[in-house]
Structure 1
């Protein structure tokens, strides 16, 4: 709550004290001095304004430049505590014993909880700074651990790979989570592949060299012609994959 008042409150000789505002029930003063020989503490005393240890008086205080305009800045510090959730991190580990494209949840993640104590600095009732002075862990955070298969051997025993409907050599890039569903409406996961539907129809099952099994479930503005975009779980995996030419087995 701030109320503009600007009315004379007290006059002492050449000193006029005016209330300029009331903010959160605190009164702030504006002082006009037409001539003076006093120090700031003496002026405050004569004006009947009590300064707290942290308060500030701002303005150009010069005996040669009159009138002098001074403002009292009420400075306060207080402590504030609040509990905050610490989101669990996600750890991805590679597992050569799992087939490429397979994932396994080793440990479910759990958010942590901390209590933080803040030192709040205010000037004239408005917060100007805050910093954490103490942190207490109430609940330890538990990371989510997922292993991802890297075994990339082709299953020759699989009839669908021995007799694929078609074999293409395409350029393959990689993408990761965007927060959006795919073109077909499903949420992307390992095995989701973006295609140009003119080359590979949506819904097509395929096996991608070095990646594994996947389904054409997405499209993309840059996916035009003989190129596919493979979904991966992390940005790091995408960077490791890069851009490469691969054989794509279109399955029956």
Structure 2
């Protein structure tokens, strides 16, 4: 019927029936066509609705993807800013590291300066030379700057040779001078261990036969002073501490057990020499 052009006016199709049976036949055909068309229309409507929903879902996903993209771009910009800040911090840290190394080197140079001047001097006595060499030997293990350490070792070598020559030329026995002290303090002494560098940039050590490390209040005992403490020995005041205030000192020991055994004691501290005098 569609092919013959009867799809526009179903009433005309019915009215042109040739007989009652033809009318019934045409009616059934039209009814089937209308029913089929309705199914096709309903199916198209359903598909249209599904397509709209799919398009809406895709639009939502596209919007979320765009938001995610924008969020990622913002995070990338933040990461780039953080990277630049980190690079700047690294540059500043390297500068501070250089300055700190220079300050440590200057402190270590000052510590060995007096001993070097004694070794270089032509008027130094044998006891002076022995004291200078003893000081350098004690400081070598504490010095962290290679150039300063090598300088101290070189002077130990040259000073030892010079001392040997002085002893060989000495015609009378050598008598050690009685050691005098610059100042005397009554102190409370605690003990500590561990750590890598002192306030002066030296390695903390416990050397009963040489120079050990102690922490002091710089306003009482100047940093870099050589001191003597009965029961502990000679030491260099090269460290500080937040709890070390006034007439309190902290003695460096090699283990926690030694620190516990030491506890807190009343001691006498003698200043043998101030910074730059030894």
For normalisation by structure 1, the TM-score amounts to: 0.36
Q: Please say which structure displays the higher CA radius of gyration.
A: 2
Identify, as 1 or 2, the structure richer in helix.
Answer: 2
**Relative CO higher for 1 or 2, CA cutoff 8 Å, sep ≥ 6?**
2
